[in-house]
Structure 1
Amino acid sequence: MIELTGWEPLGISADWAAIEGELGVPLPTDYKELYEAFGGGVFSDSVYFLGRDEGVSFDFLTQWRVSLSVDQDSRLGDVSAVDPYAVYAPGGKGVVEWSSTEWADEYCWLIDAERPGDYPVLARSHDGGPWHWYDMSTSEFLYRVLADADFQPFGIAQYDLGTTFKPGSGHPFDGRPL
């Protein structure tokens, strides 16, 4: 990803023990490496990568906490926004979003507390269609989204948006929704 974007790694440090302690599972190693190199921000002006301490718009834990509280709110019924899955709750099994697009595509991991270290990527298009399962790393999936025009329905290289990265800078990204 560094070579693809021409990015100079930032060397950001994070308290992974605290973050993973709250989640109850370790996060994928390559996600942590991506975060430490890039932080939260936007790839190719359209793919929002969630990091840590980057302001509400790009904060991985804040986004997860909000999704979990909505998913568990009994006043909203028993249908999940990530059906047929649930949002991951510590000790359980469910999805955790780590990226989205300006078109409202969602990129998540399916996390199972009983299988730490196994992080298939689940992705779904903005139209609320079915989830697509990918047995690949976070960085490989992100690379394919940005660089592989044939990676459908999620590849954006066909739109010639370039392979850039803009950091979140600790505030919402120009007010654009995630």
Structure 2
Amino acid sequence: MWVQRVIELTGWEPLGISVDWAAIEGELGVPLPADYKELYEAFGGGVFSDSLYFLGRDEGPAFDFLTQWRVSLSVDQDNNLGSHCAVEPYAIYAPGGKGLVEWGSTEWADEYFWLIDAQRPGEYLVLARSNDVGAWHQYDISTSEFLYRVLADADFQPFGIAQYDLGTVFRPGSGDPFDGQPL
């Protein structure tokens, strides 16, 4: 239902990307949310409303979900960087453990994650933080509902971007990691 609402909101023609979910989920050690998989297959990776970066599948690393997760996990586990973690008080999810996996962000440094616990597969709380506010916000809603509310609900604060009248267009990722996008 919410995936279809995002598709209708953006006027997007679903791509129907074929995905080897067994390989992706095997690497993660947990299944991903069903609605995220639908979004991933419909959109790939790219930018909503010229400001919200959605990690899905891309030819380059900029919008590729697994590439971004691998980089975050590597940095989080690098002892040479000290004990500071970019997602405190959490950690980046490591297979078999509990932690955060990023699936989106904005040009304003808002970040969108799932809190994944390998001992509780199928539970996907959305955790988000705004650069302006800094505190973590927890949502017990689906990825696609969260995405829809960010794009369409100006009152969905502090994350709603509809108030800025940016439109609701989706642009696929370019594959170029040096175009000012995430990585």
Q: Distance in 2 between matches of 1:75 and 1:21?
A: 28
What is the deviation of 1:53?
Answer: 3.8
The letter for the 2-side match of 1:33 is E
Q: Distance in 2 between matches of 1:11 and 1:127?
A: 36
Q: Which residue is equivalent to 2:179?
A: 175
1:144 aligns with 2:149: yes
Aligned residues: 177
Aligned partners of 1:39 and 1:54 also within 8 Å: no
Map 1:27-106 onto structure 2 (within 5 A): 27-106=32-111
Q: Alignment partner of 1:140: what SS? A: helix
Q: Which residue is equivalent to 1:24?
A: 29
What is the deviation of 1:159?
Answer: 0.1
TM-score normalized with structure 2 length: 0.93
Q: Alignment partner of 1:83: what SS? A: coil
Task: Give the alignment's Cα RMSD to 1 decimal.
Answer: 1.2
Over 3 Å counting, the alpha-carbon distance change for 1:176 and 1:155 in structure 2 is same
Q: Distance in 2 between matches of 1:168 and 1:52?
A: 9
Unaligned runs of 5+ in 2: 1-5
Q: Alignment partner of 1:56: what SS? A: coil
The letter for the 2-side match of 1:50 is L
Q: Distance in 2 between matches of 1:106 and 1:148?
A: 18
Q: Which residue is equivalent to 2:3?
A: none
Q: Which residue is equivalent to 2:11?
A: 6
Matched-pair identity in %: 82
1:58-89 C-alpha deviation (Å, 9 max, x unpaired): 01111000100110111112221100000000
Aligned partners of 2:31 and 2:122 also within 8 Å: yes
Aligned partners of 2:58 and 2:174 also within 8 Å: no
The letter for the 2-side match of 1:142 is L
Q: Alignment partner of 1:57: what SS? A: coil
Q: Distance in 2 between matches of 1:53 and 1:163?
A: 20
Q: Distance in 2 between matches of 1:122 and 1:34?
A: 18
Aligned partners of 2:57 and 2:65 also within 8 Å: yes
The letter for the 1-side match of 2:180 is R
Unaligned runs of 5+ in 1: none
With 75-84 and 32-41 compared, the bigger mean Cα shift is at 75-84
Runs of 4+ in structure 1 over 2 Å off:
169-172
Over 3 Å counting, the alpha-carbon distance change for 1:28 and 1:48 in structure 2 is same
The letter for the 1-side match of 2:33 is P
What is the deviation of 1:171?
Answer: 2.9
Over 3 Å counting, the alpha-carbon distance change for 1:151 and 1:128 in structure 2 is closer
Q: Which residue is equivalent to 1:166?
A: 171
